[in-house]
């Protein structure tokens, strides 16, 4: 079964509400011909920009995701956002466990698991990030690190839930550095991730789960990366902040998938 390509733009801490709407309005006509049967286009703004962007995306084929979610339904968690709040705001996807959350804000595999369960319970579609640092890669620890992130981050989930979610492989050493794993390097790691999902949750879940590449994917390399058997799209940072570059990346990713 062919997996649907998914390209998600993570805006990080960029774009006010008005700027976000302007970006989406510029993006919509550029991706209007992208068939939803073979590809999904997602933008993930900041929390304060979400509502305006959701409204701007209505009636288009651009979906909206959030950049984080808390595990509790409500309570004394200043600065946090619950899954129910995101759901009511019209959000469809949510990024969980991004490397920057892990690096700067103490995110762990255990908190990823808690956030993930809350997102799934609320009917949100999670994009769960995993990845290794340069030190871990150079120490030949990539598979051990990714295996543990999958085991602990997806703990207690059933195979159907895992098969329906999105994983994003982020080689941390390639984010925002301009460094990119070769398509062959990326494919080797994606193939390992899929094999680990098969080991933990069964063959069907492994065949269904979509695995994005999240390491400096650009319009220039998107086609070649997505042409690889186990790369199903990208989680995009800088290239998602301009409509023309993001649209070009989406189109090239679709070409790579043979759509």
**Which of 40, 70, 98, 107 is an active site residue?**
98
Helices (H), the chain: 17-31, 47-57, 83-89, 99-105, 109-121, 134-138, 142-153, 159-164, 183-201, 203-208, 219-226, 243-256
Nearest to 171 by CA among 198, 136, 144, 204: 136
Nearest to 188 by CA among 128, 144, 230, 135: 230
Residues 202, 159: Cα–Cα separation, whole Å: 7
Q: Are strands 125-130 and 39-44 parallel, antiparallel or unpaired?
A: unpaired
Q: Active-site residue 98, yes or no? A: yes
Nearest to 65 by CA among 75, 57, 76: 57
Phi, psi (deg, nearest 5) at residue 171 = -70, 105
Q: Active-site residue 80, yes or no? A: no
**Which of 100, 107, 132, 170 is an active site residue?**
170
Active site residues: 98, 170
């Amino acid at each position: 079964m062919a997996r649907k390509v998914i390209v998600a733009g993570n805006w990080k801490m960029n774009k006010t509400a008005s700027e976000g709407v302007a970006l989406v309005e510029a993006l919509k006509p550029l991706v209007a011909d992208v068939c939803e049967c073979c590809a999904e286009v997602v933008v993930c703004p900041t929390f304060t920009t979400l509502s305006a962007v959701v409204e701007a995306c209505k009636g288009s084929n651009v979906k909206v995701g959030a950049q984080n979610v808390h595990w509790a339904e409500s309570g004394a968690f200043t600065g946090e956002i619950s899954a129910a709040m995101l759901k009511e705001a019209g959000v469809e996807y949510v990024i969980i466990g991004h490397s920057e959350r892990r690096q700067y804000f103490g995110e762990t595999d255990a908190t990823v698991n808690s956030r993930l369960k809350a997102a799934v319970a609320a009917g949100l579609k999670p994009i769960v990030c995993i990845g290794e640092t340069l030190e871990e890669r150079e120490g030949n620890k990539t598979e051990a690190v990714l295996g543990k992130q999958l085991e602990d981050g997806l703990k207690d989930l059933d195979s159907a839930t895992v098969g329906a979610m999105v994983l994003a492989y982020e080689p941390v050493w390639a984010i925002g550095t301009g460094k990119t794993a070769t398509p062959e390097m990326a494919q080797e790691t994606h193939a390992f991730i899929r094999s680990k999902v098969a080991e933990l949750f069964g063959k069907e879940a492994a065949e269904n789960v979509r695995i994005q590449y999240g390491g400096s994917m650009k319009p220039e390399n998107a086609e070649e990366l997505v042409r690889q058997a186990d790369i199903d799209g990208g989680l995009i940072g800088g290239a998602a902040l301009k409509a023309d570059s993001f649209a070009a990346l989406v189109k090239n990713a679709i070409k790579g998938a043979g759509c």
